[in-house]
Amino acid sequence: MSLPLTPAKDARRGDVALGERLFVVGGKSLLLVLLLLAVVMPLLAIFWKGFSGEAGQGGGLLAARELFASENFHWLLGNSLSVALTVTAIVVPLAYLFAYALQRTLIPAKGLWRGISLLPLLAPSMLPAIALVYLFGNQGLLRSLLSENIYGFWGIVLGEAIYTFPHALMILLSALSLADARLFDAASSMGAGPWRAFRSITWPATRQAVFAAFCLVFTLTITDFGVPVVVGGDYQVLALEAYKAVVGQQQFGRGALIGMVLLLPALLSFGVDAWLRRRQGEAMSGRAQVFEPKPSRCRDACFLAIVLLVCAALLVVIGMAVYSSLVTFWPYNLTLSFKHYLFDDTAGGGWLAYRNSVTMALCTALIGSIVIFTGAYLMEKTQGQRLLNQALRLLSFIPMAVPGLVLGLGYVFFFNLSGNPLHVFYGGMALLVLCTIAHYLTTAQMTAATALRQLDGEFEAAALSLKAPLYKHFVRVTVPICLPALLDIIRYLFVSAMTTVSAAIFLYSPDTILAAVAVLNMDDAGNVGGAAAMSTLILLTSAAASLLLAGASRGLLRRSQAWRQRAPGH
């Protein structure tokens, strides 16, 4: 339900109408400018940089042909593809089973398993990799379990699998959350066994989500360099090459070319995903009954075993990272100390990096949630400026298809252009915040839009009949009602900003170095203990923020529900 603004305009006093228009049109225009600056221009800059042949930058058509024909490039591409495919082949089925266990069985303590399985989201991708070194490196705790050390293909695959597991899980959890009990009743009354019911009911309803999870894991893996940098050894991948070309050799053109290659799978899968989504009709009809799994001891035992196994593996990895950050001198002096937390004497940025990260995450969460939520409100609840709305919708979907690595490269190229007046922002905190908001915009915007769609358009109509300006209505009515969703967005943006390294690595300056970047730098300098300590700090900070916001959200929800219940009694 949307509100027709234009016909109502003459019914009200001039200044209210002006304020109204300023809020609606101004807000949308501002959002459009922001999206153009933060998403479109940097992406265009990549293509411009990749195809312009500046000397010594490794770009241009000739360099492109040379690069794409070189044996080294084929080797890197082959490595990247085989890693990404292996990771998806491991993660997606496992995440599906895990999600199925949580949504369609009666195993106990589901909340606990869910919490554990989402833990890797709270830490940068380097954390599982560092833990793997301590577990399976040459001096690893469990080294004897493997015939070879962890450095190389399997190290990257395992690290990426842990890093991407919760991402795939979240998609599949929501896909498996909805089921129509009537279909299952019908199936069993027709004599179909559980396997048959799964094949003809559950699988068709969820295969699109499986594809989406497949694409997400593939894209995350192929564009991540945090894991390969730590456990890759001499097994190199494309993302690492782009990182080395830009950060190490200052060959921006070469970085742009590889960035374009890395953009391809993301764009392709995004396109196919959108197409599939359109083909799949409404998953649930209005008359659907909520599916409640029936007890089955054998099924539940099997799924509990899988869930326990996955959770145990995740806990071992994360626990190992925390433990290794406390060990004084691995592996010869295992006494525990906080030595690795004395960052100021080591490379990488130390406590400044941590403080910067918290500042950056707070700014991203607060500014980002305000901008994104207001933008979503304007798009969902006002009807004028159809073209503007469409442009905004389209643009706000782009970031989902752009890997952080590519976005970060685009920022370097666009904001570092000589002659760009925005160059002053380069290396500053404002640009890091902008880039992080842009990077995580789509998911946050979708959360906001979903929450807003659940609100009846009558609210706006009531505001209109009371001649209350829309922005007042937005601040006084919509925001309080949607506060739980807003807190969700804040939490998502905060955690993402704390852990991200993919775009930030190209954008920081010594003053604005971030904790996740410091993890990478410390590992590079051989200070693995310090890297583990900083990762642990990031994990704890994200966890604390998440718990705080989840608690606040729960409290608010209770209050808002109380309000809803009291209302009819009046």
Partner 1 sequence: MFKPLALAAAVSAVFSLQASAAATQLTVYTALEAEQLKSYKQAFEKANPDIEIKWVRDSTGIITAKLLAEKDRPQADAVWGLAASSLAILDQNGMLEAYAPKDLGKISANYRDAANPPAWVGMDVWAATICFNTVEAEKQGLSKPVSWQDLTKPEYKGKIVMPNPASSGTGFLDVSAWLQTFGEPQGWAYMDALHQNIGQYVHSGSKPCKLAAAGEFPIGISFEYPAVQLKRQGAPLDIVLPKEGLGWEIEATAVIKGSPKADAAKRLADFSASPAAMELYKDNFAVLAAPGIAKPQTELPADYEQRLIKNDFAWASKNRDEILSEWRKRYDGKSEKVAQQ
> Out of 3, 5, 20, 27, which residue is the one contacting partner 1 (CB under 8 A)?
27
Is there binding between residue 494 and partner 1 (CB under 8 A)?
no
Taking the complex as a whole, the smallest distance from the CB of residue 182 to partner 1 amounts, in Å, to 45
Confirm or reject binding of residue 149 to partner 1 (CB under 8 A).
yes
Task: Specify which residues 62 forms β-bridges with.
Answer: none
Residue 22 touching partner 1 (CB under 8 A): yes
Determine if 510 is a binding residue for partner 1 (CB under 8 A): yes
Touching partner 1, residues 263-302 (CB under 8 A):
none
Task: With residue 522 as reference, give the H or E element that holds it.
Answer: helix 515-524
CB of 511 to partner 1, least distance (A): 6
In the shown chain, the binding pattern of residues 36 to 65 toward partner 1, with x for contact by CB under 8 A and - for none, equals --------------------x---------
Interaction between residue 139 and partner 1 (CB under 8 A): yes
Q: Which of 99, 363, 489, 537 binds partner 1 (CB under 8 A)?
A: 363
| Identified binder of partner 1 from the candidate list 53, 115, 293, 428, rule CB under 8 A | 428
Nearer to partner 1 by Cβ, of 30 and 543: the residue is 30
Segment holding 334, helix H or strand E: strand 333-336
Is 439 in contact with 492 (CB distance < 8 Å)?
no
Q: Of 99, 44, 379, which is closest to residue 212 (Cα–Cα)?
A: 99
Identify which range of 107-115, 277-285, 523-531, 562-570 contacts partner 1 by CB under 8 A: 523-531
Tell me phi and psi for residue 469, to 5 degrees: -65, 150
Which CB, 57 or 500, lies closer to partner 1? 57
Task: Tell which one of 50, 137, 403, 410 touches partner 1 (CB under 8 A).
Answer: 137
Candidates 430, 461, 477, 481: give the one binding partner 1 (CB under 8 A): 430
Burial zone of 556 (CB within 10 Å; 0-12 exposed, 13-18 middle, 19+ buried): middle
Contact characters 150-169, partner 1, x per CB under 8 A = -xx-----------------
The number of residues that bind partner 1 (CB under 8 A) is: 60
Q: Helix-strand-coil percent breakdown of the chain, rounded to 5? A: 75, 0, 20
Q: Which position among 148, 185, 292, 456 is part of the footprint of partner 1 (CB under 8 A)?
A: 148
According to the binding rule CB under 8 A, does residue 91 interact with partner 1?
Answer: no
Between residues 195 and 332, which has the closer beta carbon with respect to partner 1?
Answer: 332
Could you tell me the smallest distance in angstroms from the CB atom of residue 506 to partner 1? 13
Cα–Cα dist 170/108, whole Å: 19
Per-residue contact string for residues 462-481; x = within reach of partner 1 by CB under 8 A: ---------x--xx------
User: Hey, which residues between 93 and 112 contact partner 1 (CB under 8 A)?
Assistant: none
Q: In angstroms, rounded to a whole number, what is the distance separating the alpha carbons of residues 2 and 383?
A: 6
**How far apart, in whole angstroms, are the C-alpha atoms of residue 329 and residue 324?**
9
Least distance in Å: CB of 90 to partner 1? 20
Among 344, 387, 454, 570, which residue sits at the site for partner 1 (rule: CB under 8 A)?
Answer: 344
Which residue lies nearer to partner 1 by CB, 94 or 451? 451
Residue 359: exposed, middle, or buried by beta-carbon count in 10 A (0-12, 13-18, 19+)?
middle
Q: Cis before residue 331, ω within 30 degrees of 0?
A: yes
Is 178 a binding residue for partner 1 by CB under 8 A? The answer is: no
191: left (phi over 0), alpha (psi -120 to 50) or beta: left
The string of DSSP letters for 402-457 reads S-HHHHHHHHHHHHT-TT-GGGGGTTSHHHHHHHHHHHTHHHHHHHHHHHHHTS-T
Is residue 124 within 8 Å of residue 516, measured between CB atoms?
yes
Collapse the DSSP code of 253 into the 3-class scheme (helix H, G, I; strand E, B; otherwise coil) and give the result.
helix
Nearest distance from C-beta of residue 411 to partner 1, angstroms = 16
Residue 513 and residue 351: Cα distance in Å, rounded?
Answer: 10
Measure CA of the first residue to CA of the last residue in the chain; give whole Å: 26
Between 311 and 485, name the residue whose CB sits nearer to partner 1: 485
Contact 366, 490 (CB under 8 A): yes
Q: Determine, following the binding rule CB under 8 A, whether residue 384 of this chain makes contact with partner 1.
A: no
Q: What is the pattern of x (binds partner 1, CB under 8 A) and - over residues 222-261?
A: -----------xxxx----------xxxx-----------
Q: Report the nearest approach of partner 1 to the CB of residue 77 (Å).
A: 12
Among 511, 540, 548, 558, binds partner 1 (CB under 8 A): 511
**Token pair 């004028």 in the structure block, residue:** 384
Among 285, 418, 454, 565, binds partner 1 (CB under 8 A): 418
- In whole angstroms, give the CA distance from residue 39 to residue 51: 19
| Nearer Cβ to partner 1 (399/469) | 469
Compute the least distance from the CB of residue 370 to partner 1, in Å.
Answer: 5
Sign of the alpha-carbon dihedral angle for 314, 316, 320, 322: positive
Give the residue among 108, 104, 537 at the shortest CA–CA distance from 311.
108
Min CB(525)–partner 1 separation in Å: 5
Pairs from 309-314 (Cβ < 8 Å, separation ≥ 24)? 310/94, 310/98, 310/117, 310/165, 311/113, 311/116, 311/117, 313/162, 314/116, 314/117, 314/119, 314/120, 314/162, 314/165
How far apart are CB 17 and partner 1 at their closest, in Å? 15
Enumerate binding residues for partner 1 (CB under 8 A). 22-23, 26-27, 30, 56, 71-72, 75-76, 79, 133, 137-139, 148-149, 151-152, 233-236, 247-250, 329-333, 344-348, 359, 363, 366-367, 370-371, 374, 418, 428-430, 433, 471, 474-475, 510-512, 524-528
